[in-house]
Chain A
Amino acid sequence: MSRISQRFKQLDEQGRVALIPFVTAGDPGPQVTVPLMHAMVEAGADIIELGVPFSDPMADGPVIQRASERALEHGVSLRDVLGMVQQFRELDSTTPVVLMGYLNPVEVMGYEAFAQAAQDAGVDGLLTVDLPPEESDELLAAIKPKAIDPIFLVAPTSSDERMKRICDAASGFVYYVSVKGITGAGHLAIGEVAAKMAQIRKHTTLPVGVGFGINSAEKAQAIAQVGDAVIVGSVLVKRIEELSDSPDEIAPAIAQILSSMRQAIDLV
């Protein structure tokens, strides 16, 4: 069983919902990320989503775009991100790590080479935002034998037929994008999310996480009532940006936000 499935099984047994923070690797500098990952685990993160910086983050709002730009100013590459995961694994062998980004860095590294390097580093899942299941056969053939879960997005616009196709291709968990738009967008309609979750669950027994637009403990709590995982990104990345000149303060500040979300979620 993959580290991700194992984690969800544990949480299920405890009757808890997963908290999954997203941060961009190497933002605002490469040395910040690994200590930040440990701090997030301590503050209650169950799985970590690590953004791989890309020059053209088409699906991201300005907050995560700028995070990518900051990381790229330090030349942070996919190989560097794998190095960070490897370093994280020296002290933490249980918290799953999912890489989230765009296909091109993986494509240019080569699917087989990536799969091997990612397994060696201790990566557990891969979410490439711009890779729909229709185009994913080759990549799946490379990563699945290395026990790396392909995570796919389901969107508010996905038809029933697409939901099925996505759920069939996915393992680990399914990621429901809770707003029609880019990361960091505002309007999260909890009622609509609940309806969609019911629809998705008709197609899969995999856990379903919800992300995009969750920027407060209150929203995290509301989402925890319908989803198996609460995924938060822009609100953390924004805080990192505010503190980019005082990197020492980043880990405690992020831990504080996550702790309050953790508490709110655990009340559910």
Chain B
Amino acid sequence: MQTEKPIDFSSMPDARGHFGPYGGLFVSETLMEPLDELREAYEKYMQDETFLAELDADLANYVGRPSPVYHAERLSRENGGAQIYLKREDLNHTGAHKVNNTIGQALLAKRMGKQRIIAETGAGQHGVATATVAARLGLECVVYMGAVDIARQEANVYRMKLLGARVESVESGSKTLKDALNEAMRDWVTNVDNTFYIIGTVAGPHPYPAMVRDFQAIIGREAREQMHQQTGALPDALVACVGGGSNAIGLFYPFLNDAEVKIYGVEAAGAGLDSGQHAAPLCAGTPGVLHGNRTYLVEDNNGQIIETHSISAGLDYPGVGPEHAWLKDIGRANYVAATDDEALAAFHTLTRVEGIIPALESSHAIAYALKLAREMNTNQTVLVNLSGRGDKDMHTVAALDGLKI
């Protein structure tokens, strides 16, 4: 009998950035050569001892890594079922996992001799993380942000300005994250000689999905060891929220070859998957090509991208990293969704029961993890990526309580 050879997940993507039918390189010709240069630099420096040592030192001394894994005992007990562990990316400098990637890409930009950094941002977390590293390295920084997001994330806009970045309001299309990404691409195509584009998630053309994953995979590598230390075993299940998918793949990637570990990515169901008001391409979308790669999209029958909805700006994106699209199709990971209401309830639960105020994005992961844990035994474990802290969301949550802060 022939046995099928298991997939070695560490070998993905292929040389041109494909994860099965997904990923690849779909950009206008002007960017093909610069993307090739970027790929070469990334491949070279990911093997370069000095570069890796500098990256490690920054992650330790500037970001504060390793981030702890915390056994949420009281939450687990009150919820019932499996033991819930939290990977505390919220404790990173700037308050989310985003900085793991911006540190890496900014060091790469410096090595490539680029003096100008651009980025797109939705919630403003990636914008802040980019402005932060640009300030530290003395690089010019321009952040593109949809006009709608600027209005709902004032505090982060101010933070970026304090850090010395210029925030460009994007008025085209739906004036949200996807349009900010379009605008950043337009800037890059125009200023490609001196500019490095730091994409904030595992989207975009090759090598971005692989490169951002590799910079975020520190999350999973640490967590693997920490779970071993604390429980003597790998977790039974992993849970992370999925916007573009960077915190999720960062946690999942080092576990993909461990077939016994179940994997759950949680998308934003907004007002409900049936309502049309969601940001859940994997759960309710179809494949297509956007922002440089083939993946699942929230789109109409004519291939036009549809405006998404989520209470959390960081999940409000119509696409998703191509590796997730592939993991879904081959069945290695399960993709589920949590509504605005479920995420909010989880936000309050974690805050009240554990004294940890999560980002609304991360609250989606918590919401699903609570549900999942209840269906498991008390001697089993669920590891949740707490991708960010909720400080940035105070005004959103307060507004729902009728308060203005």
Contacts and interface: CB of A to CB of B under 8 A. Distances in A.
Nearest to A53: B304
A226 interface: no
Given A108-B286, A130-B289, A152 B29 contact: yes
Given A56-B178, A59-B28, A69 B189 contact: no
A152 to B, nearest CB: 7
Contact of A180 (B190, B290, B299, B301): B190
Interface in A52-72: 53-62, 65-66, 69, 72
A108 B302 contact: yes
Contacts of B179: 56
Could you tell me the dominant secondary structure of chain B's interface residues? Answer: mixed
B113 interface: no
B182 A154 contact: no
A59 B189 contact: yes
A10 to B, nearest CB: 28
Contacts of A153: 28-30
Nearest to B306: A55
Contact of B291 (A58, A109, A132): A58
B116 to A, nearest CB: 15
Q: How many A residues touch the partner, as a band?
A: 35 or more
A159 B303 contact: no
A56 B182 CA distance: 7
B189 A135 contact: no
B228 interface: no
B305 interface: yes
Contact of A158 (B33, B172, B291): B33
A177 B32 CA distance: 13
A65 B117 CA distance: 24
Nearest to A166: B29
Given A157-B32, A157-B33, A107 B303 contact: yes
Interface string B7-34: 0000000001000000011111111111
A156 to B, nearest CB: 7
B180 to A, nearest CB: 11
B30 A104 contact: no
A105 interface: yes
Contacts of B25: 132, 134-135
Contact of B290 (A56, A61, A155): A56
B192 interface: yes
B289 A104 contact: yes
Interface centre among B25, B299, B302 (most CB of A within 10 A): B302
Contact of A54 (B32, B33, B301, B304): B304
A79 interface: yes
Contacts of A177: 28-30
A103 interface: yes
B64 interface: no
A109 B287 CA distance: 11
A182 B190 contact: yes
B314 to A, nearest CB: 19
B173 A69 contact: yes
B303 A155 contact: no
B299 A62 contact: no
Contacts of B164: none
B191 to A, nearest CB: 8
B26 A108 contact: no
B186 interface: yes
A63 to B, nearest CB: 11
Interface string B278-297: 00000000111111101001
16 contacts: A53-B304, A54-B303, A55-B173, A55-B305, A56-B291, A56-B305, A59-B28, A104-B305, A107-B288, A107-B289, A131-B26, A132-B25, A132-B26, A132-B27, A152-B29, A157-B30
Name the 5 nearest CB pairs between A and B, nearest first. A108-B303, A105-B303, A181-B190, A77-B302, A155-B30
Given A130-B26, A157-B33, 4 more contacts: A66-B172, A162-B32, A162-B33, A177-B29
